[in-house]
Amino acid sequence: MMNKTPKLTLANDAKKKMKDSINFSNKSEIVEINKAESRILSKDIIAKFNIPEEDNSAVDGYALNFKKNNKIFKVVGQSRPSIPYLKTLKTNEAIKIFTGSNILKKNKINAVVMLEDCKILTDSIKIRKKIKINQNIRKKGEDVQKNKVVFLRGRKIRSVDLAQLSSLGLKKVDVYKKIRVGIFSTGSEINQNLKRKKNYIFDANKITLISMFKIIGCEAFDLGVIRDNFNETKNKILKNSSKYDLLVSSGGISNSDTDMIGRILSSYGKINFWKLAIKPGRPFAFGEINKTPFIGLPGNPVAAIVTFLMLVVDYVKILSGNRNIKIKKNMISSNFSMTKKPGRREWIRGWITEKNNKQFLEKFNTTGSGIISSISQSDGIIDIDEDVKYIKKGKKLNFIKYEDILN
């Protein structure tokens, strides 16, 4: 049986216990780079050559073998990006050059002048502006040097990273396999049909959780809705415990007669903790079943979403091999005052406003765990520590945007 009055676990302690429990070694796979966006690198990316491979021209114009104070240069040839000039320029000679064209050591080129700064004569050019040594020349290895680490293992590949990977000549990359997450909701009150039914509610949790798990790089599987029945819940959990890397439920984790998750975990698996000193989301369970990690989220939609964002995301990122788990603190002055119960962490939904070029935090006034509009009409979480008793208007508070958490 579950302890009816467990000691409340602090939020940071819960995070640590979740992190310390990880003994899962994720495997790698190879994917083509056109399918690599949002995947997690499982190997360092090391440059096999310099970028650019040779000095090259940054502009269209004329490349010079320049000697101090000279303004007139004889034009003796040209260089294109795929057809470099192969001869040596004598002093005061020039070639016409195009952006990206290689500049070879044997060319003896020491400056490139933009086309609009040149006066074209019969077989020569006159430079209108002062010439500087090495102007408009991109140096070999200026972007990437050979044998340097470009991206570290654990990096989440962004769309802008694909350009760098392509420039390195890569067609495929090694990435971690996606974590497979099985997700189900609990509750006999959940309406599984599209039509409204009296005394029933629609399932707002599962569709949101599936979406957020996918955003952070998981394969998320809909395991449906389980009624408040011990055997049905037990069979569903045990049946799926070996099929996924992580099982997640919403609802059924408190200690009423209809809450089955905790009883099943304590009887057939292990519970590491199941009551937290937080608001919202006090009923939050973490344990395992048949050695598969299990997370029991609250049934109230706001509590389920907020605890997912503030507790589950970091855990899943680590499980997935993603090293992007540190979020920079964003301290902003509150535009409200409020009292707070000490001893618990509070995660209030809010947003940023501006007045006289200064930023202020606003909070959603209705804070109930079932007020879904507090999520949809806010931009992030105001993170308030356990020891705070009162927030005076103007106090700087940590604000975390939803998009930064899910990045």
Average pLDDT of the segment spanning 315-323:
94
Query: 19 lies in a domain?
Result: yes
Query: 264 lies in a domain?
Result: yes
Q: Is 84 strand, coil or helix?
A: coil
What is the tens place of the pLDDT at every residue in 324-351?
888 888 999 999 999 999 999 999 999 9
Query: 161 lies in a domain?
Result: yes
190 plus 207 within the same structural domain: yes
192 plus 125 within the same structural domain: no
Cα separation of 352 and 347, whole Å?
15
- How far CA 320 is from CA of 29, 211, 315, 323, in Å, comes to 13, 16, 9, 9
Checking if the pLDDT of 370 tops 80, the result is no
Query: 357 lies in a domain?
Result: yes
> Quick one: DSSP state of residue 90?
P
Cα separation of 209 and 301, whole Å?
10
Residue 123 sits in a domain whose CATH number is: 2.170.190.11
Query: What is the extent of the structural domain holding 124?
Result: 55-138
104 plus 193 within the same structural domain: no
> Quick one: DSSP state of residue 152?
-
Residue 198 confidence class, pLDDT cut points 50, 70, 90? confident
89 in Cβ contact with 107 (< 8 Å): yes
219 plus 237 within the same structural domain: yes
pLDDT score recorded for residue 1: 47
Residue 275 sits in a domain whose CATH number is: 3.40.980.10
26 CB-contact burial (10 Å; exposed 0-12 / middle 13-18 / buried 19+)? middle
Query: 395 lies in a domain?
Result: yes
| Paired sense of beta strands 283-289 and 190-191, if any | unpaired
Number of domains in the chain: 4
What is the tens place of the pLDDT at every residue in 16-33?
999 999 987 789 999 999
DSSP string, 196-262: --TT-EE--HHHHHHHHHHHTT-EEEEEEEE-S-HHHHHHHHHHHTTT-SEEEEES--SSSTT--HH
Checking if the pLDDT of 109 tops 60, the result is yes
187 plus 302 within the same structural domain: yes
Query: 407 lies in a domain?
Result: no
Residue 258 confidence class, pLDDT cut points 50, 70, 90? low
Checking if the pLDDT of 122 tops 50, the result is yes
178: its two tokens: 């996606």
237 plus 286 within the same structural domain: yes
Domain-terminating residue out of 298, 320, 342: 320
Residue 204 confidence class, pLDDT cut points 50, 70, 90? confident
pLDDT score recorded for residue 324: 85
305 plus 170 within the same structural domain: no
Domain-terminating residue out of 91, 108, 138: 138
110 in Cβ contact with 66 (< 8 Å): yes
Domain-terminating residue out of 138, 163, 188: 138
Checking if the pLDDT of 73 tops 90, the result is yes
Checking if the pLDDT of 38 tops 90, the result is yes
pLDDT score recorded for residue 4: 55
Residue 2 confidence class, pLDDT cut points 50, 70, 90? low
172 plus 289 within the same structural domain: no
Q: Which of 290, 285, 333 minimizes the C-alpha distance to 312?
A: 285
Residue 152 sits in a domain whose CATH number is: 3.90.105.10
Question: Which percentage of the chain shows pLDDT scores above 90?
Answer: 81
Region of poorest pLDDT, from 256-270, 317-331, 383-397: 256-270
